[in-house]
A and B are shown apart, each in its own frame.
Chain A
């Protein structure tokens, strides 16, 4: 078995936890320099001495996405802004975006972590790596870019979209590895077959990293079969740098979360108490190897569990099960994070539309699509042209807000199910897990 950093990746648990505690103490000390944590520590009487064991982490209150928004843009910075070299922000567009600041050291550490993940799935400096993620503020672009360069791959920063061009690069440059969102991977394969290209025969592809949207085991197998590759599930979130937080090894059984960089807790999303080992709960992460913007006990809202037992690959870092959903109503579709409230906000601007709507996410063919059904407030016209213009205009505004095009369907007043209390606005019919 080959490792990128054998000493860290296979470190025995006792040493790993010692390293975590040491880094946690340093992190607490440094976090006190941020206006946000300074206040939190004062209010809760926390000092560097409060942390004598990893269990003491529980003395610290949770940090939420809301905290990040409220302290937009620089309130979470633990070092002077002058020492920061990059900002990333989330794709969500409700209220203030969540911003993450990085120092040069943070970026280097992040790149190393991504390189470690890629190495783990067999990618080497002899590989040609094409990244189909959007670049810019979205972390999947630059995150993989720096990681792949650190590893020494020849990188093709193709960025998102333009499928024919992606295929041309794959065939012309002899691309061997891709980073791609799962729904786009199947799309890419479909287009290749339409063009008479059999990716298993006509390309050098052997490994793809898939992530940024929930997908099922069946979908992974399908991608592997269509493209003739091994596909590995990767997990990242901008608040935790981006890609590389957790990644599958070649066992394809759970994602190793790098515990030299984060402390992972799984809590009951309602009681916020730790769940029993192996139970599903919300993942809470604490950064212990980041200087510009430490986050303590950050509620990721992602639901998962820690897999029991040791991994045959020899790595000692915990393995997370495939993600099982969210503890809030965030929808992840085509790599975009969105909340129903964004959709509601648009729909409510149209007096022709009623207040009842239903969002359905379903798999059509190989693609995940969003259907939005909305009731008419009343029939305000008797002509189709007007209804079609309305549909078009609402769709356009939704597209601007969501960065993807939903299928909007007008339905008759009273035809959507209504509920007492909190209405179910989202039906996710994608097959996961």
Chain B
């Protein structure tokens, strides 16, 4: 249920994002999901990739400010109310969401989540029997 995510510090400068993406492309690393959040001065690029350890190593070697974190990957369907229901479980358990993004694959919605309390969040997933995805399956998508 936890997968590796790479966060990269991005300056708000022309061409910065392309530079990073080119580094990964050269090494044949596939990007499965990506999101960039930005402030007025910098952004953080968050990516799920086909080989996180290798990608992280490449970034480090190229002196890119990057961080490897684990996030939760939950699967939901795209019916009305399914997001609402999933999140209500976390809220009831007192878990806050720090950020999340989602993408669709094979008719399923995959939610990438970072919460303020990893253990409590895992407990919610187990107890509520939420569907999740293993990293080994995720990177095959």
Q: Which residues of A contact B (CB under 8 A)?
A: 376, 378-385, 387-388, 409-415
Contact = CB atoms under 8 A, between A and B. Distances in A.
Nearest to A408: B41
Given A412-B9, A415-B11, A379 B67 contact: yes
Given A376-B9, A378-B67, A413-B9, 9 more contacts: A379-B8, A379-B9, A379-B67, A381-B7, A382-B7, A382-B44, A383-B44, A410-B42, A412-B64
Contacts of B16: 412
B42 A380 contact: no
Contacts of A385: 98
B11 A414 contact: no
Closest 8 CB pairs of A and B: A382-B7, A379-B65, A379-B67, A379-B9, A414-B63, A413-B65, A382-B69, A412-B65
B110 to A, nearest CB: 19
B87 interface: no
Contact of A383 (B13, B65, B66, B98): B98
Taking each of B10, B66, B114, which has the highest tally of chain A beta carbons within 10 Å of its own beta carbon? B66
Interface residues of B, number: 23
Contacts of A387: 42
A412 B11 contact: yes
A383 B9 contact: no
Contacts, number: 52
B41 A413 contact: no
A415 B67 CA distance: 17
Contacts of A415: 11, 13
B67 A381 contact: yes
21 contacts: A378-B65, A378-B67, A379-B65, A379-B66, A380-B67, A382-B7, A382-B46, A382-B67, A382-B114, A383-B44, A383-B98, A383-B99, A383-B114, A387-B42, A388-B39, A410-B41, A410-B42, A411-B11, A412-B10, A412-B64, A413-B9
Interface string B41-68: 1101010000000000000000111110
Contacts of A411: 11, 42
B16 to A, nearest CB: 8
B141 interface: no
Nearest to B8: A379
Contacts of A409: 41
A382 B7 CA distance: 6
